[in-house]
């Protein structure tokens, strides 16, 4: 079994699987259960100002998107930061950290944008012996209306300012948690870096309305007949999170900024994907809110087995392996050609590949009287839709080698040619040429 | 508690009175709402779906399952019933394993098809429980049509004609409408008086008059009907049965009669059943008779079939059903004689062998003791009006349901085409109605 021991901005944990700041990490009872179950670290649910505690709604806090058989695909919430008194949280954090010295314990924070508030809370957290702080610049509901959470995260200048205060008034490692509710994730990440952040974590939840009650015509979750947008998370947001992680990892300005990956991580495979795109560790919430803490056992065993199989001895060897493969569209090889291939022995003749290609794509899959489906290579543009909708995964894409005939174009497959070099690109290097330059 | 379970001969009340209800309970209980959603989620919404192709009544299976999945089982029911007004009964009695479910791509993929039959029942039950009849009649026409036989073919035809605005009179020989749904199928397949309720629900369309105890030939002729109506649909089923022609044949009784008596019995504990029952035959009727005899408390119930077991007309599912209910299946034995001896009957069978589809009778014999012997060796067309073409023992019809006689259509078990199934009869009745309507309106 590969050793999963992980070090993230100086914080050690036995594995790279942390629980994100969220309902599962709101109190000692849950956090102890999480550590006992095997979680490597915990980001304690966001603490706010001292004084009267935050008040949550007393009706439904979560909305949901289901897949077949009520598989939970996406969850949204309108819960605020912790609604327990500050001193209770601080006391519990101290006790738990004392009892689990080998586990990471980071404390999430959200206080108003004034230096004194941050200075005060940082001192309190430092006294608990916690390993670090995570600045919650992400929550998109409730707190944002009060000038905190994503209201800060959407203004790079604020991010930089607060991060600088935090680094100034604390010796603790500082992670800045980013909101995805922006147009270019690189800007807040760069601001965090300028402010002195040791790392960023992303993504926080996405503005969302999960559904509408069609009897009372109100958004869900519905509170006394009304609804508001919540923060969306779970497997459905993973593709968005992966892209944002990759954007930061390949951005020259932020490429060395450590990343904690968050967004729909449910299995070891999800974790490995985040890490391959540049995350040093991952944080999990929705998956444990769906299945309970025990899923970490599968994640630990799965990542270990994967690392053994690949010959990795440390998780750091995996981090960022896919980053060099992320590029802009214009650099993709436009001459690269594949064709769909159907493994007839595994085909159950449902006809889905045929109908989606026929109705919505390129009319490249024929269906015979006996329901046998065959690829018309002369029509196939290799869009992959058939692969995506096949229930038995019996369709794959076969590469046509350079020089071999492409039945669709009637020409041999050419050598590497991207858009910047393409003759059809009016601003490209190949614009003057009648055809692709010979190599 | 005293029972007569092991009493020799043919006696009623072999079970404790309270056990009958349990023995004849729903053989395939309905899906709960949750189970229906789970089952519906398994449908792949295939293109040109094989289940629909396999359905004799062309129900749009993927569509109705998608309607269940999206929380509208009543809409799913309308999808089903638009094609097959007996969708509720078909959900219970169709041999789905050889039709829609047999064709399901998940049967190919996993050996576990989508539970189409149970889903269809879920949808149609919801609609009937809501007391909704979703079809309305078109503007009244001047035409009236006679339908002979209130079974699935006749009533499906009548319903479709009523929907088109015609007036329909259904003539049926029995005391209750429903045909084999009411008198023929096994009690545990549609308990709770379902057949009766379904007919009552169907008739809510209006415009259909049912005349019971009226038999063609006995109470009137085809000419009478043609005189009184603008068209006639014949859907009187098969009223005769094949009989054994062996010594002692008189000791055997038709299984269909016994099943009809069972279906109509107010109290099953009053229905006599043999301690040892032998059913001669190999189809669905044989299975229904043998299983029900066992459920009534017969100590042994044996199906004896003249060919090999794989050749039995009863599907594998039905054979399993019989065997798991304690029915013994004896293949390759053809009856030679029935003897009345002291203590009951003895049926003598000659052993057979089948090779390349050809059966040869061997010298070996076996003797099976019995108290009650049923025959289930096929049903036959009863007396039919003159002028009809009979092909293979059935009224010859074309693809539109037309017989050789002008203004006379036929469908269901009495006519050629398709298997003798409720679903086929219902589809044929529907299609004939469409053609009758086209004929009347074009006339």
Residue-wise pLDDT for B33-56, tens only, equals 999 999 999 999 999 999 999 999
Under a CB-based contact definition with an 8 Å cutoff, are residues B339 and B346 in contact?
yes
Range of the domain at B295: 242-376
Facing residue for B109 by CB, picked from A348, A355, A371? A348
How many domains does chain B fold into? 3
State whether the Cα torsion A284-A290-A296-A298 is positive or negative.
negative
Question: What per-residue confidence (pLDDT) applies to A428?
Answer: 80
Residue-wise pLDDT for B205-244, tens only, equals 999 999 999 999 999 999 999 999 999 999 999 999 999 9
Query: Six-digit token pair at A74?
Result: 């996406």
How many Cβ pairs closer than 8 A exist between chain A and B?
A: 36
Residue-wise pLDDT for B335-364, tens only, equals 999 999 999 999 999 999 988 889 999 999
Delimit the CATH 3.20.20.70 region(s) of chain A: 6-325
| Those residues with Cβ within 8 angstroms of residue B110's Cβ, 6 or more apart along the chain or in another chain | none
Residue-wise pLDDT for B103-125, tens only, equals 999 999 999 999 999 999 999 99
The CATH number that domain A6-325 falls under is 3.20.20.70
Residue B105 lies in a domain: yes
Residues B258 and B361 in one domain: yes
Residues B235 and B250 in one domain: no
Checking B360-368 for CB contacts under 8 A at 24+ apart, the result is B361/B334, B365/B336, B366/B330, B366/B333, B368/B278, B368/B302, B368/B304, B368/B330
Q: Do A351 and B46 touch (CB under 8 A)?
A: yes
Task: Pick the last residue of a domain from B376, B402, B434.
Answer: B376
Each residue's pLDDT tens digit in chain A (439 positions)? Answer: 789 999 999 999 999 999 999 999 999 999 999 999 999 999 999 999 999 999 999 999 999 999 999 999 999 999 999 999 999 999 999 999 999 999 999 999 999 999 999 999 999 999 999 999 999 998 888 888 888 888 899 999 999 999 999 999 999 999 999 999 999 999 999 999 999 999 999 999 999 999 999 999 999 999 999 999 999 999 999 999 999 999 999 999 999 999 999 999 999 999 999 999 999 999 999 999 999 999 999 999 999 999 999 999 999 999 999 999 999 999 999 999 999 999 999 999 999 999 999 999 999 999 999 999 999 999 999 999 999 999 999 999 999 999 999 999 999 999 999 999 999 999 988 765 544 444 4
Q: Do B41 and A350 touch (CB under 8 A)?
A: no
Question: What per-residue confidence (pLDDT) applies to A146?
Answer: 86
Under a CB-based contact definition with an 8 Å cutoff, are residues B167 and B177 in contact?
no
What CATH number should be reported for the domain holding residue B364? 3.50.50.60
Residues B69 and B179 in one domain: no
How do strand A206-208 and strand A230-233 relate by DSSP bridges?
A: antiparallel
Question: What per-residue confidence (pLDDT) applies to A437?
Answer: 46
Nearest residue on chain B to A353, alpha-carbon basis: B47
Question: What per-residue confidence (pLDDT) applies to A233?
Answer: 97
Q: Is 50 exceeded by the pLDDT of residue B91? A: yes
Under a CB-based contact definition with an 8 Å cutoff, are residues A117 and A111 in contact?
yes
What CATH number should be reported for the domain holding residue B114? 1.10.1060.10
Residue B22 lies in a domain: no
Residue B308 lies in a domain: yes
Question: What per-residue confidence (pLDDT) applies to A150?
Answer: 87
Residues B261 and B371 in one domain: yes
| Chain B neighbors of A367, CB-CB under 8 A | 47-48
Nearest residue on chain B to A373, alpha-carbon basis: B47
Residue B24 lies in a domain: no
Q: Do B37 and A367 touch (CB under 8 A)?
A: no
Nearest residue on chain A to B110, alpha-carbon basis: A348
Residues B353 and B277 in one domain: yes
Under a CB-based contact definition with an 8 Å cutoff, are residues B232 and B407 in contact?
yes
Question: What per-residue confidence (pLDDT) applies to A439?
Answer: 40
Residue B21 lies in a domain: no
Task: Pick the last residue of a domain from B94, B129, B164.
Answer: B129
Is B137 an interface residue toward A (CB < 8 Å)?
no
Residues of A known to be catalytic: 139
| Chain B neighbors of A355, CB-CB under 8 A | 47-48
Residues B210 and B335 in one domain: no
Question: What per-residue confidence (pLDDT) applies to A141?
Answer: 83
Question: What per-residue confidence (pLDDT) applies to A139?
Answer: 83
Question: What per-residue confidence (pLDDT) applies to A339?
Answer: 98
Query: Six-digit token pair at B406?
Result: 């002008």
Question: What per-residue confidence (pLDDT) applies to B443?
Answer: 64
Query: How far is residue A292's CA from residue A284's CA, in Å, rounded to a whole number?
Result: 11
Q: Which of A73, A213, A350 to mutate to test the interface with B (most CBs of B within 10 A)?
A: A350
Identify the CATH class of A329-421: alpha beta
Residue B15 lies in a domain: no
Question: What per-residue confidence (pLDDT) applies to A431?
Answer: 66
Residue B152 lies in a domain: yes
Under a CB-based contact definition with an 8 Å cutoff, are residues B90 and B423 in contact?
yes
Percentage with pLDDT > 90 across chain B: 95
Mean pLDDT of B3-14: 91
Q: Of A95, A34, A391, A64, give the one whose Cα is nearest residue B110.
A: A391
Task: Pick the last residue of a domain from B330, B356, B376.
Answer: B376
């Amino acid at each position: 079994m590969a050793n999963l021991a992980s070090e993230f901005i100086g914080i050690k944990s036995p594995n790279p699987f942390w629980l994100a700041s969220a309902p599962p990490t709101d109190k000692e009872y849950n956090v102890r259960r999480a550590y006992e179950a095997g979680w490597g670290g915990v980001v304690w649910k966001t603490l706010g100002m001292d004084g009267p505690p935050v008040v949550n709604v007393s009706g439904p806090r979560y909305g949901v998107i289901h897949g077949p058989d009520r598989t939970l695909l996406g969850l949204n919430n309108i819960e605020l930061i912790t609604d327990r008194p500050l001193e209770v949280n601080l006391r519990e954090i101290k006790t738990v950290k004392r009892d689990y010295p080998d586990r990471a314990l980071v404390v999430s924070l959200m206080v108003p944008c004034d230096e004194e508030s941050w200075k005060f809370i940082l001192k309190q957290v430092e006294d608990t012996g916690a390993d670090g702080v995570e600045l919650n610049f992400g929550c998109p509901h409730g707190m944002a209306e009060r000038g905190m959470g994503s209201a800060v995260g959407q203004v790079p200048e604020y991010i930089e300012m607060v991060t600088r205060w935090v680094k100034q008034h604390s010796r603790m490692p500082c992670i800045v948690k980013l909101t995805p509710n922006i147009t270019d994730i690189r800007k807040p990440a760069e601001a965090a870096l300028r402010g002195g952040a040791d790392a960023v974590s992303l993504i926080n939840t996405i503005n969302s309305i999960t559904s509408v009650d069609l009897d009372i015509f109100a958004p869900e979750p519905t509170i006394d007949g009304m609804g508001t947008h919540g923060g969306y998370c779970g497997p459905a947001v993973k593709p968005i999170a992966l892209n944002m992680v990759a954007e930061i990892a390949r951005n020259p300005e932020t490429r060395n900024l450590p990343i904690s990956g968050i967004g729909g991580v449910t299995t070891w495979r999800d974790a490995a994907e985040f890490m391959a795109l540049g995350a040093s560790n991952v944080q999990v919430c929705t998956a444990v809110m769906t299945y309970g803490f025990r899923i970490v056992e599968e994640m630990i065993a799965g990542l270990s087995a994967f690392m053994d199989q690949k010959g990795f001895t440390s998780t750091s060897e995996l981090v960022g392996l896919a980053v060099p493969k992320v590029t802009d569209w214009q650099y993709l090889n436009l001459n690269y050609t594949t064709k769909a291939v159907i493994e007839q022995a595994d085909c159950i003749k449902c006809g889905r590949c045929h109908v989606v290609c026929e109705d919505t794509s390129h009319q490249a899959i024929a269906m015979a009287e006996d329901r046998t489906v065959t690829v018309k290579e002369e029509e196939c543009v290799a869009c992959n839709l058939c692969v995506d909708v096949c229930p038995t995964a019996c369709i794959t894409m076969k590469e046509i080698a350079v020089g071999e005939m492409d039945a669709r174009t009637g020409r041999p497959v050419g050598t590497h040619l991207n858009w910047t070099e393409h003759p059809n690109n009016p601003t490209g290097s190949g614009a003057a040429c009648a055809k692709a330059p010979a190599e | 508690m005293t029972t007569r379970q092991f009493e020799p001969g043919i006696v009623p009340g072999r079970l404790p009175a309270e056990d009958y209800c349990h023995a004849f309970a729903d053989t395939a209980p309905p899906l709960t709402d949750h189970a229906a959603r789970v089952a519906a989620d398994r449908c792949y919404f295939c293109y040109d779906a094989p289940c629909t192709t396999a359905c004799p009544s062309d129900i749009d299976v993927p569509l109705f399952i998608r309607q269940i999945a999206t929380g509208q089982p009543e809409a799913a029911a309308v999808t089903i019933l638009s094609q097959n007004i007996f969708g509720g009964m078909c959900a219970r009695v169709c041999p789905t394993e050889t039709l829609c479910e047999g064709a399901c791509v998940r049967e190919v993929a996993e050996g576990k098809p989508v539970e189409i039959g149970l889903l269809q029942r879920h949808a149609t039950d919801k609609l009937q429980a809501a007391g909704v009849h979703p079809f309305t009649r078109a503007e009244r026409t001047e035409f009236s049509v006679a339908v002979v036989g209130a079974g699935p073919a006749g009533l499906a035809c009548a319903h479709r004609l009523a929907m088109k605005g015609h007036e329909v009179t259904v003539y049926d020989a029995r005391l209750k409408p429903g045909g084999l749904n009411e008198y023929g199928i096994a009690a545990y397949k549609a308990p709770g008086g379902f057949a009766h309720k379904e007919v009552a629900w169907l008739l809510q369309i209006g415009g259909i008059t049912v005349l019971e105890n009226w038999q063609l030939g006995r109470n009137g002729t085809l000419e009478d009907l043609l005189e009184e109506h603008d068209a006639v649909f014949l859907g009187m089923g098969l009223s005769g049965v094949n009989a054994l022609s062996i010594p002692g044949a008189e000791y055997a009784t038709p299984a269909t009669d016994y099943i009809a008596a069972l279906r109509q019995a107010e109290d099953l504990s009053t229905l006599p059943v043999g301690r040892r029952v032998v059913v001669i035959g190999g189809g669905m009727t044989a299975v229904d008779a043998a299983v029900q005899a066992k459920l009534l408390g017969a100590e042994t119930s044996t199906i004896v079939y003249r060919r090999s077991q794989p050749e039995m007309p009863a599907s594998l599912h039905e054979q399993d059903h019989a065997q798991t209910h304690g029915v013994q299946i004896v293949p390759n034995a053809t009856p030679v004689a029935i003897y009345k001896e002291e203590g009951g009957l003895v049926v003598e069978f000659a052993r057979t062998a089948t090779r390349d589809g050809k059966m040869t009778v061997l010298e070996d014999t076996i003797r099976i003791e019995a108290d009650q012997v049923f025959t289930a060796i096929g049903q036959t067309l009863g007396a039919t009006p003159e002028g009809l073409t009979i092909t293979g023992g059935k009224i010859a019809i074309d693809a539109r349901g037309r017989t050789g006689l002008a203004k006379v259509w036929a469908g269901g078990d009495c006519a050629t085409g398709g298997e003798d199934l409720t679903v086929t009869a219902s589809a044929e009745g529907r299609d004939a109605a469409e053609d009758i309507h086209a004929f009347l309106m074009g006339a």
